[in-house]
Amino acid sequence: MKELKNTKNSGRLIIVAYRLPFKIVREDDQSHLVQNSGGLVSAVLSLVSDQEDSVFSSEEKIQWIGFSENTKEELEGQSLANESFQAHPVFIPDDVNENYYEGFCNNLVWPLCHYFPSLARFDDAYFEAYKTANQLFFDKLDEVIQPGDVVWVQDYQLMLLPDLIRQKYPDNKIGFFFHIPFPSYELFRMFPVKWRKAIVDGILGADVVGFHTNDYVEYFLKAARLVSGYGNKLHYINMSNRIVKVDSFPISIDFQKFNEAYDEPEVIRAREEARESLKEKIIFSVDRLDYSKGILHRLQGFTRFLEQHPEWHERVSFVMVVVPSRDTIEQYQHMKMEIDQTVGAINANYGNIYWQPIIYQYRSMTYHELVGMYTASDVALITPVRDGMNLVCKEYVASRKDSQGVLILSEMAGAAAELGEALIINPLDNQGIADAISEAFAMIPEEQEKRMSAMRERIRDYDVFAWTNDFFTQMLMLEQEHERLKQVFLTNKGIDNIRKAYEASSKRILFFDYDGTLAPIVADPSKAIVSEDVKKLIMEIAKRDTVVIISGRDRRFLDTHFRDLPVHIIAEHGALIKTKGSEEWTLNESYEENWKDSIKPILNMYAKRCPGAFVEEKETSLAWHYRTADDKEYASRRAQELSWQLKNFIQPELNLQIIDGNKVVEVKKTAFNKGTAARSFVDGSDYDFILAIGDDTTDEDMFEALPDTSYTIKIGDDLSAARNHIKNQEEVFHFLSFMVSTIPE
Ligand code: GDG
């Protein structure tokens, strides 16, 4: 778990989630907020305390904005606060809420994100209501927010909200967490174009965007790339004037609470009652009524088990609790009917007057009953066909203080990525479920303990408090990252300071990128020629200082333009080096041949399908250029796809790197880059003035690798590790001329 140190936020914490986690209870004309006991509420509370290392000060209440089922009239004049929280109800008219919550959220987003496209309903009124409702949440926030406040937006009901906030409050920190699976692009593209763009852009209003697993992160990054054209570097999306961190934060539970519940008298009683009244082996499951939870599949798997294992007849009780949810929606009513019928049929086929194989209850349980069942059961059978995370399985593990019991878990639950010691099944495979039940019943206590302890340790280490802490650590670290990457344009004073430093130094080295730095960017790369003025200036500088031209271009091109200058030349991003005065090019020693054969056909295929794009084969890299493409927009979409495909296709052992350059996708060996090449010049030498100028993403390696005392200058306003920015390529000449102006020839 990462710790936050001395990073207390001066503002307040504002949570925005669809529902307020409070009941409003009236007593003698007074209203009280009664907090529900969910993990998120306690985790959020843990961020606020008097402790020096807590994220927020406890002097301020946590502000919670959410939909309230009470009407405005009912809440009129009531104080909606308790010791820790101040609640701000959002009132949504019934007709809007129907199209928004039941419509867009539960009839469209939910089925699409859970891979049930056939259940998805597309209706323009849904999207209109979604926008209206998100705006209502924003209007409420607008009344509450203050400078310095940190806003944490929760889930798929509020995907447009982060950007609404960003537009009006660019300086407040915003986090967004998505609790359900983010689907693969094939599913996501089923949203009409305008809707999917609104969703992606809406979410990207946040500083940190969190998902449960790396897969969801990857799918979201792909959607951002294909829908809105935002590329990513690892977990960061560069939005020109800010960056967004997209990462996985597997939500967890309050481990200690479930662990300690084992010894609570009410839980002990519930456990004993279950043990006494049920058969020798107990299987337990609990979930909300939902098609994503795989309830019918579970019943089919259990039927197969009963079919194949008569020896367990009359010796097993399967307690299946289904918690009422969304049962006003037709599909849910239908599913409920099917469950009722299937349970009825199984009990009729296999049961007898002494034995009911399935004890099915359609109701919710108290917390003590729930933990009583967790701790009484031999097997937890959790079989969602798709689940963002699934907390029930984590609660089962945390409750098992005795380290006994077997978890059977669907590989389609986000939690499966963390709980590898469970018996992992495919919920669509009846035989797999039947076999797992039989294996679980036969598992010796030592083996149960081994598996359970390993899982318990993992959840103990990363509980819901670690989860919130981790999320906020990322929020604060991003601030530092922003600080590092923020743009500082060179002022006259700044330029003069560099001139003075230049003048005062005696051993200098200057690194110049070529395209976009010494030469303008033009449509045809072969016509990007360095001007005579710039060349003369470089010649003059190179007479007294070490000058390195550092480019992604091939050696032939660079030779043509710089052969007659006394400079070092680095070609192909550091792969080839020609030192001053030498006629020889040397190949970077970590370069290995033979990697191109598998990659070139992919680039060629993309070039064939994109008129005007072409593949350039350099000695040490392959480049797919699309500056010359006929249809620029189409080409940039293809480029995003290509880069995506390459990133996924290329095996780690090939050690290749994909660079999203300026209208070019380039593949090269990772063993070297402009950074390693630049360092090889400055390491072990005693330069007292180092300057590097570049415009491209590949120049970032150079900016990062050079010593902190270097003057690093980025051309343009993209976020950069360079210390300073200048506006455009033309300014390079003026800047350099001024810098050297006071040095006598
Ligand atoms: C969504 C995502 C993701 C259930 N029945 C009773 C009861 N519960 C509690 C459980 C558990 C919670 O409700 C259910 O959480 P899940 O994670 O299993 O499922 P969703 O409600 O679908 O949640 C999911 C989650 O968001 C968090 O990000 O994991 O993937 O779908 O805590 O204990 N609690 C009590 N009685 C019940 O009858 N007391």
Q: Are 92 and 133 in contact (CB under 8 A)?
A: yes
Region of poorest pLDDT, from 45-49, 263-267, 659-663: 45-49
Ligand 1 centre from 390 Cα, in Å? Answer: 7
The span from the first CA to the last CA of the chain, in angstroms, equals 59
**Residue appearing with tokens 């990857």:** 218
- Please say if the pLDDT value at position 28 is more than 80: no
Is 387 one of the catalytic residues? no
Pocket of ligand 1 (CB under 6 A): 179-180, 251, 286, 288, 323, 364-365, 367, 370, 387-392, 395
Provide the mean pLDDT of the chain: 90
Exposure pattern of 666-682 as b/e (b: 16+ CB <10 Å)? bbbbebbbbbbbbbebb
Interatomic CA distance for residues 460 and 398, integer angstroms: 8
At residue 633, the pLDDT reads 78
Q: Are 618 and 695 in contact (CB under 8 A)?
A: no
Interatomic CA distance for residues 374 and 319, integer angstroms: 11
Among residues 672, 665, 634, 629, the alpha carbon closest in space to that of 650 is found at 665
pLDDT tens digits along 655-701:
678 888 889 999 987 777 899 899 999 998 999 999 999 998 889 98
Question: Which atom of ligand 1 has the smallest separation from the CA of 38?
Answer: 32
DSSP 372: H
Ligand 1 centre from 251 Cα, in Å? Answer: 12
Q: Are 624 and 615 in contact (CB under 8 A)?
A: yes
| 621-625 and 664-669 strand pairing | antiparallel
Question: Which atom of ligand 1 has the smallest separation from the CA of 413?
Answer: 30
Q: Are 414 and 178 in contact (CB under 8 A)?
A: no
At residue 7, the pLDDT reads 55
3-state SS, 61-130, equals CEEEEEECCCCHHHHCCCCCECCCEEEEEECCCHHHHHHHHHHHHHHHHHHHHCCCHHHCCCCHHHHHHH
Among residues 734, 237, 223, 736, the alpha carbon closest in space to that of 485 is found at 237
Question: Which atom of ligand 1 has the smallest separation from the CA of 366?
Answer: 39
Interatomic CA distance for residues 465 and 44, integer angstroms: 8
pLDDT band of residue 3 (cuts 50, 70, 90) is: very low
Closest C-alpha residue for ligand 1 atom 33: 392
207, 378, 463, 513: the active-site residue: 513
594 conformational bin, left if phi > 0, alpha if psi -120 to 50, beta if neither = left
Query: Which pair of tokens denotes residue 518?
Result: 């010494």
Closest C-alpha residue for ligand 1 atom 39: 367
Question: Which atom of ligand 1 has the smallest separation from the CA of 393?
Answer: 18
Query: Ligand 1, residues 392, 397, 412, 468: which to mutate, most atoms within 8 A of Cβ?
Result: 392
CA 531, 536, 539, 545 dihedral sign is negative
Look up residue 667 and give its amino acid: V
Q: Are 168 and 207 in contact (CB under 8 A)?
A: no
Closest C-alpha residue for ligand 1 atom 28: 179
Tell the burial category of 482 from Cβ atoms under 10 Å away from its Cβ (0-12, 13-18, 19+).
middle
Torsions phi, psi for 254 (to 5 deg): -80, 90
pLDDT tens digits along 585-603:
988 766 677 788 888 888 9
pLDDT band of residue 37 (cuts 50, 70, 90) is: low
Query: If residue 712 lies in a helix (H) or strand (E), which one and from where to where?
Result: strand 711-715
13-17, 44-48, 77-81, range with greatest mean pLDDT: 13-17
pTM of the model: 0.79
Query: Which pair of tokens denotes residue 485?
Result: 């990457």
Q: Are 355 and 306 in contact (CB under 8 A)?
A: no
Instruction: Report the DSSP beta bridge partners of residue 745.
Output: none
The residues, ordered by sequence, that sit 6+ positions from 20 with a Cβ below 8 Å of its Cβ are: 64, 66, 67, 68, 87, 89
Ligand 1 centre from 393 Cα, in Å? Answer: 10
Ligand 1 centre from 465 Cα, in Å? Answer: 17
Closest C-alpha residue for ligand 1 atom 10: 392
Interatomic CA distance for residues 535 and 565, integer angstroms: 8
Question: Which atom of ligand 1 has the smallest separation from the CA of 212?
Answer: 28
Interatomic CA distance for residues 485 and 482, integer angstroms: 5
Region of poorest pLDDT, from 156-160, 311-315, 689-693, 724-728: 724-728
Q: Are 432 and 426 in contact (CB under 8 A)?
A: yes
Closest C-alpha residue for ligand 1 atom 26: 179
Among residues 14, 468, 426, 2, the alpha carbon closest in space to that of 250 is found at 468
Interatomic CA distance for residues 491 and 726, integer angstroms: 9
Query: Ligand 1, residues 369, 391, 409, 418: which to mutate, most atoms within 8 A of Cβ?
Result: 391
Interatomic CA distance for residues 576 and 556, integer angstroms: 11
Question: Which atom of ligand 1 has the smallest separation from the CA of 251?
Answer: 28
Distances in Å between the alpha carbon of 364 and those of 102, 169, 261, 263, 562? Answer: 21, 41, 19, 22, 77
- Please say if the pLDDT value at position 702 is more than 90: yes
Torsions phi, psi for 413 (to 5 deg): -90, 140
Displacement of CA 609 from its chain's centroid (Å): 31
Query: Ligand 1, residues 182, 390, 399, 407: which to mutate, most atoms within 8 A of Cβ?
Result: 390
Helices (H) and strands (E) in the chain, counts: 26, 31
DSSP string, 28-46: TTEEEEEE---HHHHHHHT
Ligand 1 centre from 521 Cα, in Å? Answer: 55
Q: Are 548 and 558 in contact (CB under 8 A)?
A: no
Tell the burial category of 1 from Cβ atoms under 10 Å away from its Cβ (0-12, 13-18, 19+).
exposed
Averaged pLDDT, 61-70: 90
At residue 490, the pLDDT reads 87
pLDDT band of residue 264 (cuts 50, 70, 90) is: very high
pLDDT tens digits along 399-432:
999 999 999 999 999 999 899 999 999 999 999 9
